[in-house]
Structure 1
Amino acid sequence: MIEVSDTLLDTQREITKLNQPVSFKSLQHLCTCSDDFLVDDKEFQQCLKGCKWSPNGLSILINSEDKRLRIFNIEDIEQNVSLCKVNQIKEGGTIYDYVWYPNFVDKNKTNNLILSTSHRSPIHLWNATDGQLEATYRVYDHVDEVAHVNSLCFNWSGEEIYSGSYGKINIFRTERPGREFIEIPTKADLHRSIISTIAMNPVDKSMFAVGTYSKDIGIYGGNQLMYILRGHKSGITQLKFSPDGLKLYSGSRKGDNDIVCWDLRNVGQTLYSAERTVTTNQRICFDISSDGKFLVSGNCTGDISTWQLDQTIELSDGVESVLTLNSKIPVHNDCVNGVSLHPTRPLLATTSGQRHHDFYDDDDEQALQVTCTDSSLKLWKII
C-alpha cells in the first residue's frame, strides 16, 4: 500500500519559495548525455521523447523511441554538476505517457515510483530505484481484452490514477491494482476522440482538464464535465495549470504553433497566446516555473523560447494578445521536444530528436543521410 505523506503540501510550498525568479535571457551548458541512448541497430532511428524532473529534483526521467524509460540522478562534485544514469525500464511497446508519483519527497525514499503506459500493454507502476514492477492497472476494450491508455496523471496526493483513452477516462485507486476503476465516458461531449493529455489543478483539488486529438479541451469538477474549450487548430498534446490554478495553458501539434492561456475565472476566454514552432505531430513540451513567472517551450528548430508571464498584457475586444518573446536560445541540433524546469534550482533539462527520412538525389539516386540529427539530454544553468 502507498501511503500519502502529511507534509506534501508544506514541501510544495517550500519548493515554490526556493525557485526564485531569474532573467532567463541565457543558459550556461553544464553537461550532455548522448552515449547512453546509442543503439546497435543501424536501421533504427533513435530519438528522445521528453524529460521530467522528479518532485524532489534529485532525478530526471527520460522517454525514448527504443521503448525505454531511463532515470538519471543529478550529482554535484566540487561544484561540477553532472547526470549519472542509475536505471532503465523496458516497456513492451511505444511509450505513450509517463509520470512521477507526486509524493516523492520521503526520508526513506520508499515512494520513488513511476507510472507508465505503452502500446497494447496495461498501466505499469515501477520502482525507479530497482526497476521492479510494483503494480499493474488494466483497462479492457469492448471484447474484454486488455487495452492501452494514451495519457496518465496522478491526482495531487497520489491516491488516484487518472488515465485517458479513446472516448473515456478511467480512475483507479493507486492502492488497488487490477481492473477496478471508475469510468467517465467522453464520446458524447468530446467528439469521440482519444484523450491525449490530463492535468490536475494544483489549488482546486476536484478540478482537472483533459485534451483530445479532436482539438477539444474538457474542464471537469468532481468528475463531472463543466466546460468545453475550443479554439486550437490541431490536436492537443499538453495541458498545464498555472501555479495559482486560475489559468490553463494548452499546446498542440503540427498545424498550430500557439500555446494558449485560458482564463478560468472567465471560462471560454483566452488571455493571450505564445508562438513557438511546431512542424511535427510529436509532443513538443512546455513548462512553467513554480513561481509562475516564466513559460518555456521547445521548438522544432533546435532552440527554446521563453516568455515572462508577469508582463503587462493589453486586452482588445476581438483581438487575441500575443506574449512578447523574452528570449530564444539555441540548445540542440535537432527538434527540442522536451523541456523541464528543476523544482528548486535554476536548472533546465532539455531533450531532442525526431524521426528523419532519407531523401534521394535525382542525379545518382543514392540516399543522402540527414546530417542534422541529435538525440541527447542536456542540463543547463539558467542565467
Structure 2
Amino acid sequence: MVLQYATQTQSAKATLSTILEIAHGEALLDYAWYPYMSQHAPETCCLIESTWDHPLQLRDSNSGSVRASYVAYDAKEVLMTASSTAFSADGSSVFGGYANHLARFDVQQPGLPVDLASTSPSRRSRDGMKGIVSCLAPVPGSASTGMLACASFGGQIGLVHSAADLSGMTVWRMPEEYRCSGITELKWAPGGVHLWAASRQSSYIVAWDIRDLRGPCATVPRACSTQQRMSFDFDATGTHLVAGETDGSVTFHNIRDQSPTVRIAAHGDLVAGVSAHPFYPLLATASGQRHFDYDAGTAECPSLDCSLRIWSVPANFSPT
C-alpha cells in the first residue's frame, strides 16, 4: 500500500522571508485574521490580537500600526486581559474571552464592548463556565448573530446560541476519559454541526454533534503529553482533520469514513501549529517548544526545531 500523500507532498524549496515584524511589550496570547482579508483591498489587511495587560488591538498587517483598540473592565473597573479573541463570520464584530467573561465589540466602534456577559451567575455558583475562556470559535459562514463556541481551561465547553446575546449559553464538560487538563483548541468542522475540541495532555481530539450533546460523537487519537497548545485544522475538502504530533509528524484523519490515518514526517520537534488554506492545496505547519536540561541545573535549552514550513498537498491523499 502506498500512501499517496507521503509520496507526493513536497515542502517549499525556497527560503521564506519575513515581510513584517511587530514588537510587543508583553506576551502575545491570541490573534485572528480578518475573515475577508484581501491584498487587493488594503483596508481589509488587518488582524485582531490580544496581549497580556493590554486592550485588544486591531493592527494593520502591512504597516504594523494599531488601527483601533477594544477594552473591557471588570466590576472593579480593572482592565481585563483577553486570553482569546476571534472575528465574527461576517467580520462586523470582535469577540474577547476573559476570566469568567465574554465580550463582543463592534469593529467600527472602538472602545467599550457593546455586550459584556458573565459566563457564570456568581463566583460561588457552580453553574455556567468557570475560569479563563481559553478559546473562541464562531460558526463559520454564519451571520454575526450566529452561534459562538467557547471553552475554558477548566475543561468546560459553552455554546452561545446567539452572538447578539452572550448571556444565553449551554455548558457541558469534557468527559474525564478524554480530558487531562484545560481545553486549548476549538474548531468547527465544515457544515457548522460538529464541534471538535482538543485538551492539554490528552490522547484524543473529541467531537460533538450540537444537535445531541449527551456525549461525544467521534474521536481521533493524538498524543499530547505537553501543556503547550497544539492546534489542528480541516483541509479544504472538509474530509480530513489535520493535526500536529509531539514527534514532529503531521497526521491526516478521514472524519467521513474509516480510511487509515496518513502520517508524514514534517519537523524535527513538536508540531504546535497546523493551518490549511481554505481555497488552495496548501498547508502551513510550525514547530518548536521549550526544552530543559535538568542534568545541567534546569537550564533552558533551545528548541530542537523552531521552523515554519509551507506544504503543497495533492488533490487526494487517501491511501491507494
TM tier, smaller: 0.7 to 0.9
Give the Å deviation of 1:308. 1.0
1:306 aligns with 2:239: no
Q: 1:139 to 1:371 in 2, by over 3 A?
A: closer
Q: Which residue of 2 aligns with 1:268?
A: 214
Q: Which residue of 2 aligns with 1:277?
A: 223
Contact map agreement 2:89 2:141 (CA 8 A) in 1? no
* TM-score using structure 1 length: 0.72
1:145 aligns with 2:81: no
1:246 aligns with 2:228: no
Q: Tell me, what secondary structure is at the counterpart of 2:20?
A: strand
* TM-score using structure 2 length: 0.86
Contact map agreement 1:293 1:309 (CA 8 A) in 2? yes
Q: Which residue of 1 aligns with 2:32?
A: 99
Superposition map of 1:146-295 within 5 A: 146-188=79-121, 189-205=127-143, 206-222=146-162, 223=166, 224-231=168-175, 232-233=178-179, 234-254=181-201, 256-295=202-241
1:83 aligns with 2:65: no
Contact map agreement 1:277 1:301 (CA 8 A) in 2? no
Contact map agreement 1:229 1:268 (CA 8 A) in 2? no
Q: Gaps (5+ residues) in structure 1?
A: 1-21, 32-80, 313-323
Give the Å deviation of 1:243. 1.3
Q: Tell me, what secondary structure is at the counterpart of 1:250?
A: strand
Q: 1:341 to 1:136 in 2, by over 3 A?
A: same
Describe the superposition over 1:157-187 as per-residue Cα deviations: whole angstroms up to 9, x where unpaired.
1111111011010111011111243111112
In 1, Cα distance between the equivalents of 2:260 and 2:203?
14
Q: Which residue of 2 aligns with 1:327?
A: 262
Instruction: Calculate percent identity across the aligned residue pairs.
Output: 28
In 1, Cα distance between the equivalents of 2:211 and 2:158?
15
Describe the superposition over 1:323-378 as per-residue Cα deviations: whole angstroms up to 9, x where unpaired.
x6521211111111001112222111111111111221xxxx68898586111111
Superposition map of 1:18-37 within 5 A: 24-26=5-7, 27-31=9-13
Q: Which residue of 2 aligns with 1:380?
A: 311
Q: Which amino acid aligns with 1:265?
A: R
Q: Which amino acid aligns with 1:194?
A: I
1:125 aligns with 2:58: yes
Q: Which residue of 2 aligns with 1:74?
A: none
Contact map agreement 1:190 1:214 (CA 8 A) in 2? no
Describe the superposition over 1:279-309 as per-residue Cα deviations: whole angstroms up to 9, x where unpaired.
1111100001232111001111111111112
Q: Which amino acid aligns with 1:262?
A: W
Describe the superposition over 1:212-237 as per-residue Cα deviations: whole angstroms up to 9, x where unpaired.
11111011111311343432412110
Identify the structure with bigger relative contact order (alpha carbons < 8 Å, sequence gap 6+): 1
Contact map agreement 2:291 2:300 (CA 8 A) in 1? no
Q: Tell me, what secondary structure is at the counterpart of 1:91?
A: coil
| Structure showing the higher strand proportion among its residues | 1
In 2, Cα distance between the equivalents of 1:90 and 1:181?
29
Contact map agreement 2:72 2:79 (CA 8 A) in 1? yes
Q: Which amino acid aligns with 2:231?
A: C
Give the Å deviation of 1:143. 3.4
Q: Which amino acid aligns with 1:219?
A: L
In 2, Cα distance between the equivalents of 1:181 and 1:336?
37
Q: 1:366 to 1:211 in 2, by over 3 A?
A: closer
Q: How many residues align?
A: 297
Give the Å deviation of 1:271. 1.7
Q: CA RMSD in A?
A: 2.2
Give the Å deviation of 1:23. 5.6
In 2, Cα distance between the equivalents of 1:291 and 1:330?
22
Q: 1:23 to 1:237 in 2, by over 3 A?
A: farther
Contact map agreement 1:187 1:193 (CA 8 A) in 2? no
In 1, Cα distance between the equivalents of 2:40 and 2:303?
44
Contact map agreement 1:154 1:160 (CA 8 A) in 2? yes
* Structure 2 residue corresponding to 1:336, chosen from 271, 277, 280: 271
Q: Tell me, what secondary structure is at the counterpart of 2:47?
A: strand
Q: 1:131 to 1:258 in 2, by over 3 A?
A: same
